[in-house]
Structure 1
Amino acid sequence: MKYTVIIQWSQEDECFVVFLPEFLEVMQPVTHGESYEDAVKNAQEVIELLVESYREEGKALPEMKKIKEILPAA
């Protein structure tokens, strides 16, 4: 499964925060990391857990969104 991962520095939290736009029903941001690399690793773990949870609950996995559905028009 390939899902969109948005990582942004949060000055307020002093860490990188991770958003998963395909999983909007989950509290956002979904995870964080003190470094960009930690945020990526944590995002992968959260996606794996979400996919496992969806499958266990018999829920359909979210469809991957196109970039134009995620980012506002410039």
Structure 2
Amino acid sequence: MKIKVIVHTEETGYWAEVPALPGCATQGNTFEELLQNLYEAKRTLTIEGNLYCYS
């Protein structure tokens, strides 16, 4: 299953949002940290069934 993620670049790092999941967003100081946080948010959604996954 593919889920679209929109990544935004800022002076202090990155943040991303998942349009298919309103309110689902996370951030990271590096792109690698952002990816790790996205996987954690996905796991949280899978385990807890939340519609919101702020990290």
Relative to the length of structure 1, the TM-score reads: 0.56
How many angstroms apart in 2 are the aligned matches of 1:10 and 1:21?
Answer: 19
One-letter code of the match for 1:39? L
Secondary structure in 2 matching 1:50: helix
More helix by percentage: 1
Gaps of 5+ in 2: none
How many angstroms apart in 1 are the aligned matches of 2:9 and 2:18?
Answer: 15
1:33 aligns with 2:23: no
Name the residue aligned to 1:8: 8
Cα deviation, residue 20, structure 1: 1.0
Cα deviation, residue 2, structure 1: 3.3
Name the residue aligned to 2:39: 44
Cα deviation, residue 19, structure 1: 0.5
Task: Provide, for residues 18-53 of structure 1, a one-character-per-residue CA deviation record: whole Å limited to 9, x for no partner.
Answer: 1011111x2x5x111111111011111101101222
How many angstroms apart in 1 are the aligned matches of 2:32 and 2:48?
Answer: 24
Of 18, 21, 24, 1:20 maps to 18
Q: Structure 1: which 4+ aligned runs deviate by more than 4 Å?
A: none
Relative to the length of structure 2, the TM-score reads: 0.70
Gaps of 5+ in 1: 60-74
